């Protein structure tokens, strides 16, 4: 995934929809991002039981390597996280129209079926949040905005 160091993920937050069949249509910017990474297959799961994470396959393989290394340091944490991510996760292709199928078990658990969602690139993957979760996170971020801007300005935020 060395080439991915030069690939810039989308900077905006986009609204999308998971259709009645559980398919999510990625907008053009996310389709281009995956294409630029050379990825047509993704692993879709959750690591917080709230947000769907769409991992380009090469990034998911790096997570699997982390599970293996972490098993030596903290076997229980590694096993627990791996269990949850693999229980709810699944591989999916991104078709020519930019659609990918969210695993049924994950859709049902997070109650994200035939509903609007919000997409955001984060740490190499794509976060998918329900509208309710996104609005809640946005409201909380707005409440903390002044304090957090001050903190980041001290680190150089312009």
Residue 128 above 90 pLDDT?
A: yes
Structurally, how many domains does the chain consist of?
1
Alpha helices in the chain (DSSP H): 28-37, 57-73, 75-88, 104-110, 131-153
Residue 1's pLDDT band (boundaries 50, 70, 90)?
very low
**In Å, what is the CA distance from 43 to each residue of 79, 126, 143?**
18, 11, 34
Domain presence at residue 8: yes
Q: What is the mean pLDDT of the chain?
A: 93
State the CATH number of the domain containing residue 57: 3.40.1550.20
In this predicted structure, what is the pLDDT of residue 5? 60
Domain presence at residue 63: yes
Domain presence at residue 151: no
In this predicted structure, what is the pLDDT of residue 45? 97
In this predicted structure, what is the pLDDT of residue 3? 41
**9 contacts 82 by C-beta, under 8 angstroms:** no
Q: pLDDT tens digits for 6-30?
A: 889 999 999 999 999 999 999 999 9
**Where in the sequence is the domain holding 120, given as residue range(s)?**
2-130
Distance CA 115, CA 20 (A): 8
In this predicted structure, what is the pLDDT of residue 2? 42
* Region 120-127 average pLDDT: 96
Q: pLDDT tens digits for 38-78?
A: 999 999 999 999 999 999 999 999 999 998 888 888 999 98
Domain presence at residue 157: no
- Hunting for tokens 């740490």 — which residue is that? 123
Domain presence at residue 50: yes
* Region 125-140 average pLDDT: 96
Domain presence at residue 100: yes
* Region 122-128 average pLDDT: 96
Domain presence at residue 94: yes
Domain presence at residue 155: no
């Amino acid at each position: 995934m060395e080439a991915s160091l030069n690939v810039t993920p989308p900077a905006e937050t986009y609204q999308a929809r998971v259709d009645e069949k559980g398919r999510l249509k990625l907008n053009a910017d996310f389709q281009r991002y995956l294409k630029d990474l050379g990825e047509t297959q993704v692993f879709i799961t959750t690591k917080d039981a709230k947000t769907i994470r769409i991992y380009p396959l090469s990034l998911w393989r790096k997570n699997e390597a982390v599970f293996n290394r972490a098993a030596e340091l903290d076997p229980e944490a590694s096993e627990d996280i791996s269990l949850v991510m693999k229980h709810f996760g699944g591989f999916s292709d991104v078709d020519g129209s930019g659609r990918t199928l969210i695993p049924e078990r994950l859709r049902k658990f997070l109650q994200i079926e035939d509903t609007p969602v919000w997409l955001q690139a984060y740490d190499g993957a794509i976060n998918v949040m329900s509208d309710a979760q996104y609005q809640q996170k946005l409201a909380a971020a707005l409440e903390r905005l002044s304090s957090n801007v001050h903190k980041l300005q001290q680190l150089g935020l312009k």
